[in-house]
């Protein structure tokens, strides 16, 4: 059996603006279970990077441990990558980001990897507003270790083993909003139309862009009583808004005049055009964003779409006032200015 992807592609497929083909964004052939939601998210990430024409070598894919964390092996084969210890992806992302601010950091994690063992790492990456796209493939269980409930499993939800989950669940989006993430969204692996623009907008945001994507585990948590199953999410999800993502280089053609639509301009001058389903939903107010989530939860519904955005948000580099250049662009004199400069700095602390 071979796991290498055939190099032949349809001759009609075109290159993106940077001259790359879709295959330049692909990775190895997936070994996840057929029908696993994670594979759909991987496909959406590949498509988003291709459409945004991001040179693959300008991307860093990072993960922890889990079926979800195996995903970087199945996408962006030409990007940089690091598969860390369980729950430790945020520290690896922080270190890499501090050394080279010129790359796009894409963290891929699971609900076990982030909400259980990695919760301490996650909250600090968020409150530092690390400039990264942080994707949680949320199936409410530990898929890789045979389906135990994770900390995002809803109380009362029933997995394959049959006993209902007795513990309260952690809502990662609420935590992210509370701790100052500038972009927070929730989506569903089975909703390609919503997930694609959300990923592209997240990749264009400066600071922490957090995306919680409900991603059913078909092997251990796709039962009728599970709130992370395909059936449940399709029956109970409600989109806060529909929206288009318009890159800066593209002409804006959509109508702005509609009373329930508005645009948000990001740092790189690309635009998010929101078409609100419910005009009472405000996505630029932190307190209201949390309230919206709770209101829908009370009714047993899962709110999806862009939940919160702060277009003015700063990233760790701006907050700390770090050097503008990636460290590998600096010469020896800048990196190692010598004893006299060190003495002067130490003097400043006395
Ligand atoms: C330090 C450590 N503790 C526990 C494990 C066992 N382990 C491996 S993956 C995993 C949970 C994975 O769940 P999740 O992150 O939700 O990913 P999924 O497989 O569901 O996509 C656990 C507990 C480990 N590998 N390392
Ligand atoms: S065990 Fe679950 S999460 Fe893991 S690959 Fe299979 S379906 Fe996906």
What's the pLDDT tens digit per position in 247-258? 887 665 555 444
Structure tokens given for 3:
């796991």
Render the burial of 173-202: b for 16+ CB within 10 Å, e for the rest: bbbbbbbbbbbbbbbbbbbeebbbbbbbbb
Q: What is the number of the ligand closest to the CA of 112?
A: 1
CA of 170 to the centre of ligand 2 (A): 21
Q: Ligand 1 within 6 A of 86 CB?
A: yes
pLDDT at 8 over 90: no
Q: Rounded distance, CA 63 to CA 347, Å?
A: 41
In the predicted structure, residue 342 carries a pLDDT above the cut 60? yes
The mean pLDDT value for 309-332 works out to: 94
Provide the pLDDT for residue 271.
87
Residue 269 exposed, middle or buried by CB count within 10 Å (0-12, 13-18, 19+): exposed
Q: Tell me the average pLDDT of the chain.
A: 92
Burial 122-161, CB ≥16 within 10 A → b, else e: bbebbebbbbbbbbbbbbbbbbbeebbbbbbbbeebbbee
**Residue 346 CB burial class (10 angstroms; 0-12, 13-18, ≥19):** exposed
Q: Is the CB of 139 under 6 A from ligand 2?
A: yes
Mean local confidence (pLDDT), 314-326: 96
pLDDT band at 3; cut points 50, 70, 90: low
> What distance in angstroms lies between residue 105's CA and the mean position of ligand 1's atoms?
22
pLDDT tens readout for residues 110-167: 999 999 999 999 999 999 999 999 999 999 999 999 999 999 999 999 998 879 999 9
Q: Identify the residue with better confidence: 238 or 175.
A: 175
Rounded to the nearest angstrom, the distance between the alpha carbon of 135 and the centre of ligand 2 is 17
Which residue CA neighbors atom 8 of ligand 2 most closely?
A: 36
38 lines ligand 2 (CB under 6 A): yes
Residue 228: closest CA among 184, 173, 185, 189: 189
How far, in Å, from the CA of 284 to the mean position of ligand 2?
35
146 alpha carbon, closest ligand: 2
- pLDDT, average across residues 283-309: 93
Contact 86, 64 (CB under 8 A): yes
Q: Which ligand is nearest to the CA of 148?
A: 1
Q: Is 108 in the pocket of ligand 1 (CB under 6 A)?
A: no
Q: Is 309 in the pocket of ligand 1 (CB under 6 A)?
A: no
Q: pTM of this prediction? A: 0.94
CA gap 74, 67 in Å, rounded:
11
More confident residue, 8 or 314: 314
pLDDT digits (tens, 9 = 90+) for 22-70: 999 999 999 999 999 999 999 999 999 999 999 999 999 999 999 999 9
- Ligand 1, atom 13: nearest CA belongs to which residue? 142
pLDDT at res. 9:
76
Which of 33, 110, 216 for mutating ligand 2's site (highest number of atoms within 8 Å of CB)? 33
Q: Return the ligand 2 atom nearest residue 68 CA.
A: 3
Question: What's the pLDDT at 239?
Answer: 87
Ligand 2 lined by 67 (C-beta under 6 Å):
yes
Verify whether ligand 2 is closer than 6 Å to residue 32 (CB atom). yes
What's the pLDDT at 246?
87
Give the containing element (helix H, strand E) for 62. strand 59-63
Q: What is the pLDDT of residues 214-251, one digit of tens each?
A: 999 999 999 999 999 999 999 999 888 788 888 887 66
Q: Considering every ligand atom, which ligand is closest to the CA of 221?
A: 2
């Amino acid at each position: 059996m071979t796991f290498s992807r055939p190099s032949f592609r349809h001759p009609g497929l075109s290159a993106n603006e940077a001259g790359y083909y879709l295959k330049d964004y692909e990775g190895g052939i997936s070994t996840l279970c057929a029908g696993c939601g994670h594979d759909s998210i991987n496909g959406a990430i590949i498509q988003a990077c291709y459409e945004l024409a991001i040179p693959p070598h300008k991307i860093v894919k990072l993960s922890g441990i889990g079926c979800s964390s195996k995903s970087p092996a199945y996408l962006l084969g030409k990007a940089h990558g690091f598969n860390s210890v369980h729950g430790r992806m945020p520290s690896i992302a922080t270190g890499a980001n501090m050394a080279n601010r010129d790359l796009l950091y894409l963290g891929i994690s699971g609900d076990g990897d982030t909400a259980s063992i990695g919760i301490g790492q996650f909250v600090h990456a968020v409150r530092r507003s690390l400039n990264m796209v942080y994707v949680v493939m949320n199936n409410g269980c530990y898929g890789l270790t045979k389906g135990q409930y994770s900390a995002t499993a809803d109380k009362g939800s029933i997995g394959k083993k049959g006993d209902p989950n007795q513990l309260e669940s952690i809502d990662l989006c609420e935590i992210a909003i509370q701790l100052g993430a500038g972009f927070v969204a929730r989506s569903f692996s089975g909703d390609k139309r919503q997930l694609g623009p959300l990923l592209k907008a997240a990749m264009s945001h400066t600071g922490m862009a957090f995306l919680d994507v409900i991603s059913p585990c078909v092997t251990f948590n796709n039962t009728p009583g599970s709130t992370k199953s395909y059936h449940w999410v399709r029956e109970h999800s409600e989109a806060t808004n529909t929206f288009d993502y318009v890159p800066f280089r593209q002409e804006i053609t959509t109508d702005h005049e509609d009373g329930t639509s508005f645009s948000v301009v990001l740092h790189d001058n690309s635009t998010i055009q929101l078409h609100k389903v419910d005009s009472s939903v405000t996505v630029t107010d932190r307190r209201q964003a949390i309230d919206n989530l709770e209101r829908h939860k009370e009714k047993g519904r899962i709110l999806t779409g862009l939940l919160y955005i702060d277009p003015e948000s700063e990233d760790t580099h701006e907050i700390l006032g770090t050097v503008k250049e990636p460290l590998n662009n600096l010469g020896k004199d800048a990196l190692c200015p010598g004893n006299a400069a060190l003495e002067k700095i130490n003097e400043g602390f006395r």
